Structure 1
Amino acid sequence: MEMRGCNISINQLADFSKSTLANKRSIINQQKMPNTFKTAWYQLAKARIKKVIANKGDIKPVLDGIEELKRRTVTKKRQVNDRIVSLDALQRFVSFQIPSLLKNYDYKVLKNVESKSIFIKGVEVIVSPDLIIEIDIDNKKYLGALKTHISKGKKFDRKQQLYVATALHKYLESEVAKNGEIVLPELCLSIDIFGEGIVTSPVNISDKIKDMEVICEEVKKMWDAA
């Protein structure tokens, strides 16, 4: 198997930024030798939240998802845990305030964007947004993106969510806005269901990028030492 260069997903980078040294080493080892059989958790919940953002804030997919989870027959411990957390996540999401821009304007979901990453200090930061949207306001095209995080045990604080939202902003600028589209900070959405809810990108991302450069330098150092 071909070894990738130094890389880290944006959620792992946010986690890394607040971790103990032992946990940082664990994150680096996971990134260097990813488990190809790793279970994907909370798939239904994530898909329904994505659908709400794709459908102008229409909450029906989440409400339907709650009912579907209640009806679902589960036997294994992992399935039981997944259902409990997914139900909690969707019920919490119902009370979130969706940005009004998404309700007031038509937009389309962009697909087939080839690149999923940005590079910071030689580290490939895998942003991989859950959703990229293009919104038309007064004949100008604007871009936004969404990244959802669901974890009761490792919820993000506001600073960590700002890193995620900033990475979305930077990603849209460098990888998606090829024809003069403008990135809208208020539509670069980090959603952490058990954390701070919906956090948007700062208008000026330079300070947060500097912080992330420092984190990436540490990632690179530990990657080379591992």
Structure 2
Amino acid sequence: MERNYVISINQLADFSRATDAKKRRIIKQQKVPNKFLVAWYQLAKSRIKKTIANNGDLKPILDGIEELKAKKPEKQRQIIDRMVSLDALKRFINIKLPKLLKEIPHEVIKKPKSKSIIINGVEVIISPDVIFKLKIEGKTYIGAVKVHISKNNVFDNQQSRYISSLIYKYLNEVVAKEDEEVMKDLCLSIDVFGEKVITVPKNLKKAIADIEVICEEVKAIWNVA
């Protein structure tokens, strides 16, 4: 029987640095996803996506901060969500987005049906938050952004490089048309609480080779978890 190995891009980054116990926990979550899992920080994430889509215009962020300040949550989960979301939006203001993204008008591309790529038999769900294209000297380039918001689980540079490398691979395999080139400098992993933007590493080949090894480990644990 053929197994379907599936892991999301952020969980893969998490897995790459996790303890053995946490790796097993991540795989168990991927094997039996919780359909009732409530997504956290939705407002913060949507405002950050809007700012990126609008060439770094901070108005959606500033409006989001005011909206969150006006909220009067009662449940503990809502109180935490509001507090962390406010912190995330304030931190995002300090993040320096690439000049290209801010200075050259770009068009946001509709996300394709396929949100994933296969690496070593593992389906890695990329699903970028924003995919865009822009023209420079008559040539069309595309890029994409994945945003990570987690106060207690900030990604290090290596984890973020895995994410930007996977975005690059996904855009090349799934999104880019013949007359479009994927720009490495615009494949961005944004870690909000790490306050950093990481692009594709110079040694992309090594990053992809590392990810292939991680995918082998995903399969090995999947088969026994």
| Aligned counterpart, 2:157 | 158
The answer as to whether partners of 1:8 and 1:124 remain within 8 angstroms in 2 is yes
Amino acid of the structure 1 residue aligned with 2:179: G
Query: Mind listing any 5+ residue stretches in structure 1 that lack a counterpart?
Result: none
Residue 209 (structure 2) pairs with residue 213 (structure 1): no
The answer as to whether partners of 2:162 and 2:211 remain within 8 angstroms in 1 is yes
Q: CA deviation at 1:147?
A: 0.5
Which deviations, in whole Å up to 9, do the C-alpha atoms of 1:15-57 show, x marking residues without a partner?
0001111110000000000000001000011111111110011
**What root-mean-square deviation, in Å, do the aligned CA atoms of Structure 1 and Structure 2 show?**
1.3
Which deviations, in whole Å up to 9, do the C-alpha atoms of 1:86-110 show, x marking residues without a partner?
0001001111111111222121000
Q: Secondary structure at the match of 1:194?
A: coil
Q: CA deviation at 1:203?
A: 4.5
Q: CA deviation at 1:71?
A: 0.2
Residue identity over aligned pairs, in percent, reads: 57
Residue 59 (structure 2) pairs with residue 44 (structure 1): no
Worse overlay, 174-183 or 14-23 = 174-183
| Aligned counterpart, 2:138 | 139
| Aligned counterpart, 1:71 | 70
The answer as to whether partners of 1:145 and 1:189 remain within 8 angstroms in 2 is yes
Q: CA deviation at 1:201?
A: 1.3
| Aligned counterpart, 2:29 | 30
- Structure 1 residues 16 and 99, CA gap change in structure 2 (3 angstroms): same
Q: CA deviation at 1:178?
A: 2.4
Query: Mind listing any 5+ residue stretches in structure 2 that lack a counterpart?
Result: none
Which deviations, in whole Å up to 9, do the C-alpha atoms of 1:165-206 show, x marking residues without a partner?
111011001101122311111111111111251111124521
The answer as to whether partners of 1:108 and 1:134 remain within 8 angstroms in 2 is yes
Q: Secondary structure at the match of 2:187?
A: strand
Partners of 2:181 and 2:18 in 1: CA distance? 34
Q: Secondary structure at the match of 2:217?
A: helix
- Structure 1 residues 4 and 191, CA gap change in structure 2 (3 angstroms): farther
Partners of 1:53 and 1:119 in 2: CA distance? 27
TM-score between both structures, scaled by the size of structure 2: 0.96
| Aligned counterpart, 1:189 | 188
Residue 105 (structure 2) pairs with residue 106 (structure 1): yes
Which deviations, in whole Å up to 9, do the C-alpha atoms of 1:136-182 show, x marking residues without a partner?
11111101001011111111001000111111011001101122311
Partners of 1:4 and 1:175 in 2: CA distance? 23
The answer as to whether partners of 2:92 and 2:195 remain within 8 angstroms in 1 is no
**After the TM superposition, which residues 77-116 of structure 1 pair with which residues of structure 2 at under 5 Å, given as runs?**
77-116=76-115
Amino acid of the structure 1 residue aligned with 2:155: F
| Aligned counterpart, 2:60 | 61
